[in-house]
Amino acid sequence: MNKLKAGIYKEFLLLVNDKVGLSMMIFLPILLVIIITSIQNSAFNIVNNNQIELILVNEDSDSLSNELVKAINESHLFKIKYKNYSSSELNTEISESNIPFGLLIEKEYSKVLKRKASFKVDKLKYSMGILEVQPEDKIIQNQEPILKLIYNPVIQGNYAQSVEQMIFTLNKKLSTQFLLKQLSNELELGEGAFDLKGEKDDQELEMQKSSFNGLDTAIPNASQHNVPAWSIFAVFFMVISLAGNLVKEKVNGSFDRVLTMPSSIWYLLGSKAILFLMVSFFQISLIFTISRFLFQFIDLPTLYFPDNTLSFLWIVFLTGITAVNYSLLIGIYSKTIEQATGFGAISIIIFSAIGGIWVPSFIMPPLLKVLSNISPLHWCIELFYTVFLKNGDFSQLLIPSFILIGMNFTFVLFAYLKLKKLNILAR
């Protein structure tokens, strides 16, 4: 036990003296988490809270077009600027300004809607036997668009289609309301028989976040998504210090000198593993504490901790030990410091890219989804998301945990085979 304590103390002194490596493991991850969370939170606010700027030109100014303008305004989705542009002027304004969208309501808007409603009512009356002559639809055919949504070329296509669908829905609701009003008048059903204005749109559809236990939890924010993900990334970047120190000891001969002492190689590697496992706990504790208590002072959403503390500690332990074993594997196989730090850093970046740290795995191509299963960071983030976002308990952690345990066993096995090949175990 004294040998192990001495080894841990030696590794602690090496770590403290490695100012660059220490800063990369402590200060840079904090800065990275703050920057990434700020960017993600800004993106969330743009999508969820900010109104979309829209130049609105109403050439019709009749009752139905005014109803549409009122509906767009009351949706609170758009920040409207009313202008008296022509179609070409509106197109030029959208192209040259920073305003992303423009909506042109043509002069014939109200007339066309009324004609379409009258035709549909007559068609229904004919099918019911009230009219003897079938109505003609030549008025409806070859009709020019009565609404034109113009968008800036820099806007992505899927975003523009979403805005188009918003306008289409509001227009469709207005035309349906007018049609039902005409129908009630023609059939003498009384005013308000088909009135939908009093109906609430959100009665039939409720958006609810799924969770394993069915309990209602807070809606995930940018911190819930980014803090665990980039904390894992920071922990695995210990490969630069741990693998680098191991290779440095092999290169300068201190590794061989330690092996000449009456001690085992496992004391040397075990002391490194225990110290850096403690460092991983410190890293995550520091990052999560800052996210929980200090984010609110820099206008970032607060990180909410899961209720199951034991599950959280198990996840932190499994993440830390996986990072330690992977770093030791890289250090044992590397012959130079450049190999250890270069390959270690690049491999962590690749594992994080395909593992769902940078972008969610479900939006990746099929091949990358399959490759993500070989990334230890993927299974670490699955554990964190199960507890932080899905409110899962320990039973939901079993499959990812067993996979990570299998990966750790593989890392240790390959390290053992390399040490055996180098005849180090016999010393």
Would you give per-residue pLDDT tens digits along the chain (427 residues)? 676 777 777 777 777 777 776 777 777 778 888 888 887 776 666 555 567 888 999 888 788 888 888 999 888 888 888 888 888 888 888 887 778 888 988 888 888 888 888 888 777 777 777 766 666 665 555 555 678 888 887 776 777 888 888 888 888 888 888 888 877 777 666 555 455 554 444 444 444 444 444 444 555 677 777 888 888 998 998 888 888 888 888 887 776 676 676 667 777 788 888 889 999 999 899 888 888 888 888 878 888 887 788 899 999 999 999 999 999 999 999 988 888 888 998 999 999 989 888 877 777 888 888 999 999 999 999 999 888 877 777 888 999 999 999 999 999 999 999 888 877 765 5
Q: In this structure, what token pair is assigned to residue 269? A: 């590697």
* Shared domain check, 109 and 223: no
- H helical segments located in 79-151: 87-96, 109-127
Looking at residue 210, its pLDDT comes to 45
169 lies in a domain? yes
* Tally of domains in the chain: 2
Q: Structural domain of residue 166, as residue ranges?
A: 52-186
Looking at residue 49, its pLDDT comes to 57
* Shared domain check, 132 and 39: no
Question: Which of 6, 414, 404, 15 lies closest to 242, judged by CA?
Answer: 15
* Shared domain check, 62 and 35: no
* Shared domain check, 275 and 370: yes
Cα torsion through 67, 73, 75, 78, rounded to 10: 140
* Shared domain check, 39 and 61: no
- Domain final residue, candidates 138, 166, 186: 186
Cα-based distances in Å from 308 to 226, 384, 395: 20, 12, 12
* Shared domain check, 62 and 40: no
Contacts of 381 (CB under 8 A, 6+ apart): 228, 229, 232, 355, 356, 357
* Shared domain check, 170 and 64: yes
Determine the Cα–Cα distance for residues 180 and 175; give it in Å rounded to an integer.
Answer: 9
* Shared domain check, 315 and 372: yes
* Shared domain check, 96 and 151: yes
Question: Integer distance in angstroms from the first to the last C-alpha of the chain?
Answer: 20
193 lies in a domain? no
201 lies in a domain? no
Determine the Cα–Cα distance for residues 415 and 407; give it in Å rounded to an integer.
Answer: 12
CATH number of the domain encompassing residue 168: 3.40.1710
* Shared domain check, 279 and 180: no
* Shared domain check, 133 and 162: yes
